[in-house]
A and B are shown apart, each in its own frame.
Chain A
Amino acid sequence: MHKHLDKFWTLILLGLIVRLALCFWTGHPWDFEVFIRVGYYVAKGSSLFGIYPAESYYNEGLGQPIFPYVTGLGYLPAWGLYTALTYKIYSLLPVSPFFYYFLLKLAPMLGDLASTQLIYSLTRIVTGKVEKARLNALTFFLCPFIILVSAVWGMFDSIPLAFTLASALLLLLDKPFLSGLCLGMGIYIKVVPIIYLPIHMLYLSSKRDVREALIHLLTALLVPFILTMVPLVYFGWETSKAAITIFSQTQRTGEVLTYWNLSALLNDLFPFSSGMLNEVFSFPLVRYFWVLGLIVGYLLYHKLQKSSSEPQSLSLPLKGHLLATIGFLLTRTFIPEQFVLYLAPLIIVQAKGWRSEKSLGWMHVWVSALTFTFINLYPFAFAYLINPEFWRTFSYLASTKPYSSVRYFARFITAVLFDLLLVKILCGMVRSREESA
Chain B
Amino acid sequence: MFKMSRNLILILLGAVMLLVVTACVPAASPAGDAGAGGEQVTIRFVSNHGDVEVPIFEEVIGKFEAEFPNVKVDYLNATSQFEDTIKTQGVGGSLPDVWYARTFLTSDYATKGWTLNLASLIDRDDVDVDDFWAAQIAQMSYEGDLYALPYDFSNVGIYYNKDIFDEMGVDYPTSDWTMEEMAEIAEQFVEKDADGNITRWGLNIFPWSWPWLGILQANGGAIFNEDQTECVINSAENLATLEFFKEMRNKGIYPESGATPEGLEPFSNGLVAMTFEGSWGTQGTRDRVGDKFDFDVVAMPKGSTGRRGITPAGGAWSIASTSEHPEEAWEFIKFLTSTDSTNTLISDHMRSIPGRKSSVPRWTEVALSGELPPANVGVFGEMMEEAYEIVYPQFWGDYDIAWSNLMVPAIVGGDGVLGPAEALEQMEKQCNEAIANSQ
Decide whether A and B assemble into one complex.
no
Enumerate chain A interface residues (CB-CB to B < 8 A): none
